Amino acid sequence: MTLSIITGVLSAFFLFASSIKIFGWQETIFRVQLEMFESYGLNRTIMRLVGVVELFGAVAIWFQSSWVGPLGALALLGTSVGAICCHLKFDTWKQGIPAMITGTLSALVLYSG
């Protein structure tokens, strides 16, 4: 039951985040994220690629009974760790708190899978 809730929260969060990175449909959040990526020395193409990895992870974590589920959790963990590293290097640790939370939850899903 708890794993299903964690999976649902992670999936919803990363579906939302990835859709903005891929399609840029939410103008305000998209602009802020693109500015962050550019301040890290990354471009729009990398931002879109991160969105595709997040989208894969958000869908794949629902398939824990196969090899795809843990791979999806690993993808989400990887993007979270990358975000934490960028925030620690270029921003403040406080800006990395959401990534720390998603990283922890992704690790729990990976461990459970």
Residue 4 burial by Cβ neighbours in a 10 Å radius (0-12, 13-18, 19+): exposed
pLDDT in tens, the chain (113 residues): 799 999 999 999 999 999 999 999 999 999 999 999 999 999 999 999 999 999 999 999 999 999 999 999 999 999 999 999 999 999 989 999 999 999 999 999 999 97
Q: How far is Cα 40 from Cα 25, in angstroms, rounded to an integer? A: 22
> In the chain, how many domains are there?
1
Q: How far apart are CA 74 and CA 49, in angstroms?
A: 16
pLDDT value at residue 1: 73
Full domain range(s) for residue 68: 2-112
The pLDDT value given to residue 113 = 75
DSSP calls for 18-39? HHHHHH--SHHHHHHHHHHHHH
User: Full-prediction pTM beyond 0.85?
Assistant: yes
Single out the residue of 25, 52, 37 nearest to residue 82, CA to CA: 37
The two tokens of residue 33 are 């994220």
